[in-house]
């Protein structure tokens, strides 16, 4: 089998979709599938990872009359870009040539159904590479402050920087309760004061060692289609705290952590978990033992649909 993917892997720190693509390509190749980033006559399947011609290896128009099966992975809505209706329309128009459609969360599927999508489809949640992202042997002592972390590669305000700044300020004023770390590209650091514990973006394989030294993973993002950051945190055994209206992050973290509406609720969560050590341990052990979803499981689901 030969699969043409219309988006190439980007080297260096990049968004979650790039890591998902890397995992898919590695898995497909380990299953003796040829991968190409150009559209030739001998291609059996076309995997659409993007629909913007400026970001793709070959234009969407070139796919329309190709004989290959078309599988469309939808990982964007435009909702986090001031409700970009043009992006939503572009994705729906491109989807008209797809034989199979994969959404990366139930939230994304629901979003498109509200915008007129009515075809048969599948939902495959994003996953982390569990060879890299896994719980450490670290155990926080009862008297120690809770360590909170998040990581983003985009400086889009919808990622929740206003919330992160408030958490950072709270932690500085309540250092015995908690501390806050932000990992991300330098363009994201501008949102924080010079005293914030900012860590520059790291290669994918290095991120787990920073997550493994923390306790809580915070995602203040709005309208996340999926959000690899939250699954990477949970894969490391961190208790997730996600924002109401976070989209796919709510889907992924359901049953494992907390959902908040405003910063005061986050502060209350921090107080509760620090005061009640047994609750903290119980919740952390639940994430470590029950959140077992792997990138191999995710990739197999893609391959099963491709082979339909």
Contact by Cβ (8 Å): 159, 224? no
Minimum mean pLDDT range among 28-32, 115-119, 156-160, 280-284: 156-160
pLDDT band at 187 (very low <50, low <70, confident <90, very high): confident
Query: How many CB atoms are closer than 10 A to CB 274?
Result: 21
Q: Which residue has the tokens 């008209």?
A: 96
Give the 3-state secondary structure of residue 123: strand
* 207 has a pLDDT exceeding 70: yes
Contact by Cβ (8 Å): 170, 164? no
Considering the chain, what is the average pLDDT of its residues? Answer: 94
pLDDT given at position 216: 98
pLDDT given at position 60: 94
Per-residue pLDDT of 253-285, as tens digits, reads 999 999 999 999 999 999 999 999 999 999 999
Per-residue pLDDT of 34-88, as tens digits, reads 999 999 999 999 999 999 988 899 999 999 989 999 999 999 987 766 657 888 9
**Domain 2-127+295-306 identical in fold to domain 146-290:** yes
Rounded distance between C-alpha atoms, residue 112 and residue 50, angstroms: 16
Percent of residues in the chain assigned helix, strand, coil, to nearest 5: 40, 20, 45
- Looking at the domain covering 146-290, what would its CATH class be? alpha beta
Closest CA to 188 of 220, 230, 210: 220
pLDDT given at position 83: 58
Contact by Cβ (8 Å): 292, 120? no
The full set of domain ranges for the chain reads 2-127+295-306, 146-290
Rounded to 5 degrees, φ, ψ at 102 are -120, 120
For residue 47, give both structure tokens.
């995997």
pLDDT given at position 116: 94
DSSP state of 122: E
Per-residue pLDDT of 142-167, as tens digits, reads 999 999 999 988 888 889 999 999 99
pLDDT given at position 203: 83
pLDDT given at position 11: 80
Per-residue pLDDT of 234-260, as tens digits, reads 999 999 999 999 999 999 999 999 999
Q: Which residues are within 8 A (CB) of 106 and not within 5 positions of it... i.e. 6 or more apart?
A: 123, 248, 251
CATH architecture entry for 2-127+295-306 = 3-Layer(aba) Sandwich (3.40)
* 200 has a pLDDT exceeding 90: no
pLDDT given at position 17: 84
Distances (CA, A) of 14 to 60, 97, 114, 291: 23, 28, 30, 25
pLDDT band at 98 (very low <50, low <70, confident <90, very high): very high
Q: Which residues are within 8 A (CB) of 290 and not within 5 positions of it... i.e. 6 or more apart?
A: 256
pTM score of the predicted model: 0.94
Closest CA to 163 of 264, 271, 270, 273: 264
Rounded distance between C-alpha atoms, residue 148 and residue 146, angstroms: 6
């Amino acid at each position: 089998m030969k699969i043409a993917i219309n988006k190439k892997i980007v080297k260096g720190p990049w968004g979650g979709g790039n890591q998902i693509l890397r995992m898919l390509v590695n898995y497909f190749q380990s299953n003796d599938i040829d991968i190409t980033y150009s559209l030739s006559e001998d291609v059996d399947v076309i995997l659409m990872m993007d629909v913007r011609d400026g970001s793709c290896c070959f234009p969407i128009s070139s796919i329309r009359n190709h004989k290959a099966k078309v599988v469309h992975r939808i990982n964007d809505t435009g909702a986090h870009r001031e409700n970009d209706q043009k992006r939503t329309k572009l994705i729906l128009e491109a989807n008209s040539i797809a034989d199979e459609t994969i959404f990366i969360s139930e939230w994304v599927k629901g979003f498109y159904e509200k915008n007129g999508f009515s075809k048969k489809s599948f939902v495959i949640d994003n996953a982390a590479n569990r060879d890299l992202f896994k719980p450490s042997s670290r155990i926080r002592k009862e008297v120690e402050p809770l360590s909170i972390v998040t990581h983003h590669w985009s400086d889009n305000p919808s990622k929740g920087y206003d919330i992160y700044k408030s958490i950072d300020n709270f932690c500085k004023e309540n250092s015995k309760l908690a501390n806050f770390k932000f990992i991300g590209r330098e363009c994201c650091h501008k949102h924080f004061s010079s005293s914030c514990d900012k860590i520059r973006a790291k290669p994918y394989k290095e991120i787990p060692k920073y997550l493994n030294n923390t306790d809580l993973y915070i995602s203040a993002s709005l309208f996340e289609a999926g959000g690899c950051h939250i699954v990477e945190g949970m894969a490391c055994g961190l208790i997730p705290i996600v924002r109401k209206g976070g989209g796919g992050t709510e889907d992924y973290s359901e049953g494992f952590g907390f959902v908040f509406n405003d910063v005061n609720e986050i502060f209350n969560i921090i107080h509760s978990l620090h005061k009640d050590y047994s609750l903290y341990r119980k919740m952390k052990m639940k994430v470590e033992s029950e959140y077992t979803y792997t990138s191999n499981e995710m990739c197999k689901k893609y391959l099963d649909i491709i082979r339909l």
